[in-house]
Amino acid sequence: MGRIYGLETEYGLIARTRARDGGWRRVSADEAARLLFVPIAREHATTSVFLPNGGRLYLDVGNHPEYATPECATIADLQVAERAGDDLLVALAERARAAEAAEGRDTEFTLVKNNVDSFGTTYGSHENYLVGRDADPVHLAAWLVPFLVSRQAIAGAGRWRRGAFTVSQRCDALAEVMSSDTTRSRPLINTRDEPHADPRRYRRLHVISGDSNLDEATARLRWAATELVLRLAESGRPAPIVLDDPLAALRAWGRDPEPAVALQRRYAALAAEVADGLDADLDAWQRGTVTPEWAHKRRLLIAYRDRHHLADADPRLDALDLRWHVLGSGPDGRPAGLARLLEARGELPRLTAPDAVASALQVAPGPGRARLRGRLVAAARAHGRDVAVDWASVTVHDLPASVALDDPFADADPRVDALVEAMGARPRRRPLGGFVPPPA
């Protein structure tokens, strides 16, 4: 069986509006989220929309804007889809700013791709891996838990807060190893059995412990290393490593990553037998040639601290840490965030092609059922159909007709062809929506 990947990213949002005295007033988080989604709510009477590219844009619990990528059959496609999601949210913020301006208000929106705000509220970057129904969850966890605890050493985004640095943004927030809850307990692995596919054939491994990455090389290694460990687990080999207290190790290694680096080397050494198609990633993992995002960030922060003779607890360092994660452009047209600025200067590698990212805003990746969903969504929007869309089904209420999409690998289906044709045969006069047009 091949693999299907997906990523759900929750974004931080900061908004401020110009007061009558000319100063700026901070907008509450709830109000900022409402304003961000005003253009969508006006057009589609909802704040949750599936898109013609197969992905989903919505407001999550806690009023965090969230983008779920379409299902992807390769890590390369997934990275393109993730970057397209970033661009989509930036475009949404610009639309919201324009909507505010049309009402005579000067409101600025800042999108932040991180995992914890200044109050300590945490939000996630949730990875999805399709596995077979015959995969034993206990066996998978035996392989994955020590790996995920130590993975922060190679894939963490880093956090500087009040003079203390951790290599992961999430290492202090996670409270359980495994749980079916994603809000109160915050586990490494979510165990809720919700495959979004035929439950007789598939499971969805839902990893919610990772950091949101802006460095694409770090993100690539994060996915590739996890894929390789999954292959090892699926081969039936016994798990080689057991941690007495995974959560204690998670916190300790967040501050001192050396033990985690050593553990990652052990996993990388085992992965040579299952590296088909990922040989370059395995080589980078084994030799440690990818500088993790947290190391790039820490180097920049330390240089700034030393240049300006700041104390470690100086709040300017916390502000600079936040600026690392900002998306979009500033008034001068340059990237507003430090990570994207370093990428533009060639100091961080970019793996995704801009043309591919622009295309991914419009077109679903393939092979896979995202293409089928994307076709149905596009047809429904074009012909004004009244539809309900989910990951594994699309229902056209006004025909009425429904198609189950329970095979994540399928990218051709005569039922979809027939439904697209039926939607076009009797188009409605006005769009009923549920879908936000991708930005031009």
Catalytic residues: 60
Which candidate, 320, 126, 139, 118, places its Cα nearest to that of 206? 126
β-strands 164-166, 393-396 pairing: unpaired
Q: Is 87 helix (H, G, I), strand (E, B) or coil?
A: helix
Q: What does the block give as tokens for 114?
A: 């991180």
The sheet with strand 401-404 has its strands ordered as 387-390, 393-396, 401-404
CA dihedral 41, 45, 46, 49 (to 10 degrees): -90
**Structural element, H or E, at residue 343:** helix 338-344
Q: What does the block give as tokens for 288?
A: 């440690």
Q: With both helix axes pointing from N to C terminus, report the angle between 258-270 and 279-287 in degrees, rounded to the nearest 10.
A: 140
Q: Is 229 helix (H, G, I), strand (E, B) or coil?
A: helix
Which candidate, 380, 394, 375, 379, places its Cα nearest to that of 434? 380
User: How many Å apart are CA 399 and CA 370, to the nearest integer?
Assistant: 22
Hunting for tokens 């100086």 — which residue is that? 314
Is the sign of the CA dihedral 102, 108, 110, 116 positive or negative? negative
Query: How many C-alpha atoms does 94 have within 13 Å on its Cβ side?
Result: 14
